[in-house]
Each structure stands twice: as structure tokens, then as C-alpha cells.
């Protein structure tokens, strides 16, 4: 009878499985690789890689989904995208400024004299192109537009649909004083200066440019300087592009005619002391002074002493605005 050896003790060194010597891995074509892998013990599983595989796969899928979502948001204009800053080319479209020296304004009716500090004022009325940049980068929309629709030749009018064909260089209309100040706030951030509507005093001082006549060019109306309703053989049907006529002595364009302009001054009797101040706030009951006359108004509205009241939240197709800024330090 052959003796059967006793079973190996699992705890003894002789029973432990032996490792094969280290060996080179093979490439797919069977040739040896430069990589050396350790031998595997019998029954030993390969190194665990699932713990890294799934997080990496999830990260790749997340990145792909975000990329697709961003592409969709840029392609669909109805999806709001975070505001950006105007490009260098767009900044060239910003208003140009005229330096107005300080001085005195002599008021004739009633007689009064006002001291005016130096300031800067936009050379032209704010244009459609400039207002469009404001809308583009802020998404601005005034909830009061529903209750205060723009008055014109038809209904459902707005700054970009005024009821006539307009170019980018037309003065923007269908804007309330509240809209104008919202634009001023945005532009202030772009150029780093506080901007606002002019006071009635600043507006008249800049418009007169040192003159004391009925119009800045003299006492007689001349069509080459301003257009108005009933002033020529063919009444105008809409405003025209800014700068279509000669500037006043300070270099301001369209200070008379084209569209009448907002000031920040509350409407009151002349000489009441409010011509040099702004209304503390613009609510629906605030009436502000409008100056300059427009294509929709008679010749009298072009006179430099003419004033019109208009609700700060109201809008029409013959009212626009320009802005003032502090004087540059000398």
C-alpha cells in the first residue's frame, strides 16, 4: 500500500503559490513589448480599473453636454445669454462729446441771468445704433411701455419700429425720460463717467452758443438749419439722420429741429429757479421740459425760448435725447 502524503498546511510556506518570474508583455502582433508586467498569482484578478473608468466617463459626458447646451443657447436668440462688453469696433459708435465752456445765460422772459459751469454734451442726439447696443448688452425692457405706448402714425410702435423706415444714424425715438436715464446709466459704466439728461439751463446755454437771437443762426427761419412741420413746401414725414444740417457755433448738430429733446428739469413757470436742476425722480406724474422742436411741430417750437411739458414716462416718434457729462479736468 502506497503511503499518501498528508495534505499541505495552507499556513505553511510550502503551500503558498509561487509567482512566475517577471516577463515582458506582448504587443498585439505577438512581438515583445518594452513594458514589463508583474506575474500574476494563480487565481489573482487583474488590477481593478473600474473605480477610475466611470468617473472619467461621467466627466467626458458632462463636458459634451455643456458644450452642446452653450452652442444651442448661442444659436437661439430667445435664450438669454450672460451680458458681454461692447467690442472695440462697437465702442467707436459711442457718442462724441463737445466741451462747453462756462459762462452766463441771459434770459429775456422774464429777465434773469444764470451762471453756467463748464460741462460736456453729446454732439448729436442719441442714435438708433447706440440705443441698440444698450439693448443688446443689457436686455433692457421697460414694463411701463405697455401702459404708455409710443404715439405716432400707427399702433404697436417702439424704438426699433417707429412706423417709418429708419437708418442706424437716425435719432432714436419712442423713448421715455426713464428709458433715456437707463441708457445713461449703462453708458456711464462703459466710459467711466457719470452721465445724465441735461438740465433746461444747460440745454439752452449749449443751444444758444453765445447768441441772443430767436434761433441760434439769427431771427429768421432758414430751412438749411432746421426742418419743421409747415415750414417748407413738403412737410417732413419723419426725422432724418443726425448731422444732416450745419452745426451751431459750439459744434452741436440738430440742436434745433429733427426731434425735440428731453431735459431732466421738471416743468414749471420760467424764472421759478428750477431751470438748473433735475427732478429728484421720474414717476408717471412727473412732467419734464422738452426743448428744441421737431419735424412734427411748427416753426415756433424751434425758437430757443420755446418749452413744452411732457410726462416722464410718455413716448412718441418726435422726441429723443442727448446726454451731458462732467467737464474734463484742465
Q: Which three cell numbers stand for residue 122?
A: 453729446
User: In this structure, is residue 64 part of a structural domain?
Assistant: no
Domain count, the chain: 1
CB 133 within 8 A of CB 117: no
User: In this structure, is residue 218 part of a structural domain?
Assistant: yes
Torsion of CA 85, 90, 94, 96, to 10 degrees: 140
Query: Which range, 13-27, 34-48, 115-129, 224-238, is most confident?
Result: 115-129
How many whole angstroms separate alpha carbon 117 and alpha carbon 101? 7
pLDDT in tens, 226-285: 999 988 888 899 999 999 999 999 999 999 999 999 999 999 866 555 578 899 888 999
User: In this structure, is residue 101 part of a structural domain?
Assistant: yes
User: In this structure, is residue 159 part of a structural domain?
Assistant: yes
pLDDT in tens, 55-91: 666 677 776 775 665 555 455 444 444 457 899 889 8
The parent domain of residue 306 ranges over 93-326
> pTM score, two decimals?
0.74
Cα 105 to chain center, whole Å?
34
Beta strands in the chain (DSSP E): 23-26, 32-37, 97-100, 103-108, 111-116, 119-122, 260-266, 287-291, 308-311, 319-320, 324-326
Res. 44: pLDDT tops 70: no
CATH code at 278?
Answer: 3.90.1580.10
- Any residues with CB less than 8 A from the CB of 44 and at least 6 apart, and which? none
User: In this structure, is residue 305 part of a structural domain?
Assistant: yes
DSSP class per residue in 228-262: -TTSSSS--SS---TT-S---TT--SSSSSSSEEE
User: In this structure, is residue 2 part of a structural domain?
Assistant: no
- Any residues with CB less than 8 A from the CB of 200 and at least 6 apart, and which? 263, 265, 274, 275, 276, 289, 291, 307
- Please tell me the least confidently modeled range out of 17-21, 202-206, 300-304: 17-21
Q: What mean pLDDT is predicted for residues 179-194?
A: 97
Average pLDDT, the chain: 84
Residue 107 CB neighbours (<10 A): 15
User: In this structure, is residue 83 part of a structural domain?
Assistant: no
Beta strands in 152-224 (DSSP E): none
Residue 234 is predicted with a pLDDT of 84
- Any residues with CB less than 8 A from the CB of 154 and at least 6 apart, and which? 163
How are beta strands 23-26 and 32-37 bridged, if at all? antiparallel
User: In this structure, is residue 29 part of a structural domain?
Assistant: no
For residue 211, the number of C-alpha atoms closer than 13 Å in the C-beta half-sphere is: 18
Amino acid at each position: 500500500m502506497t503511503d499518501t502524503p498528508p495534505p499541505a498546511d495552507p499556513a505553511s510556506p510550502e503551500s503558498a503559490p509561487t509567482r512566475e518570474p517577471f516577463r515582458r508583455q506582448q504587443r498585439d502582433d505577438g512581438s515583445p513589448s518594452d513594458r514589463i508586467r508583474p506575474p500574476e498569482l494563480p487565481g489573482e484578478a487583474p488590477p481593478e480599473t473600474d473605480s477610475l473608468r466611470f468617473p472619467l466617463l461621467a466627466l467626458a459626458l458632462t463636458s459634451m453636454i455643456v458644450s452642446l447646451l452653450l452652442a444651442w443657447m448661442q444659436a437661439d436668440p430667445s435664450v438669454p445669454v450672460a451680458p458681454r462688453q461692447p467690442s472695440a469696433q462697437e465702442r467707436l459708435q459711442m457718442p462724441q462729446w463737445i466741451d462747453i465752456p462756462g459762462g452766463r445765460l441771459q434770459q429775456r422772459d422774464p429777465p434773469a441771468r444764470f451762471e453756467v459751469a463748464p460741462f460736456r454734451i453729446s454732439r448729436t442726439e442719441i442714435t438708433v445704433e447706440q440705443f441698440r447696443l444698450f439693448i443688446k448688452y443689457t436686455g433692457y425692457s421697460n414694463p411701463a411701455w405697455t401702459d404708455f405706448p409710443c404715439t405716432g402714425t400707427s399702433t404697436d410702435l417702439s424704438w426699433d419700429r417707429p412706423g417709418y423706415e429708419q437708418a442706424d444714424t437716425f435719432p432714436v425715438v419712442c423713448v421715455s425720460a426713464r428709458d433715456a436715464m437707463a441708457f445713461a446709466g449703462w453708458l456711464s459704466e462703459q466710459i467711466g463717467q457719470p452721465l445724465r439728461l441735461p438740465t433746461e439751463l444747460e440745454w439752452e446755454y449749449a443751444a444758444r452758443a453765445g447768441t441772443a437771437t430767436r434761433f441760434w443762426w439769427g431771427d429768421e427761419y432758414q430751412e438749411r438749419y432746421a426742418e419743421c412741420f409747415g415750414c417748407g413746401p413738403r412737410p417732413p414725414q419723419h426725422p432724418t439722420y443726425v448731422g444732416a444740417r450745419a452745426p451751431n457755433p459750439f459744434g452741436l448738430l440738430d440742436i434745433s429741429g429733427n426731434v425735440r429733446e428731453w431735459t431732466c428739469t421738471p416743468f414749471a413757470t420760467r424764472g421759478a429757479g428750477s431751470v438748473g436742476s433735475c427732478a429728484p425722480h421720474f414717476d408717471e406724474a412727473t412732467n419734464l421740459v422738452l426743448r428744441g422742436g421737431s419735424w412734427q411741430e411748427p416753426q415756433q417750437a424751434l425758437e430757443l425760448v420755446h418749452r413744452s411739458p411732457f410726462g416722464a414716462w410718455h413716448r412718441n416718434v418726435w422726441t429723443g435725447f442727448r446726454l451731458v457729462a462732467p467737464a474734463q479736468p484742465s
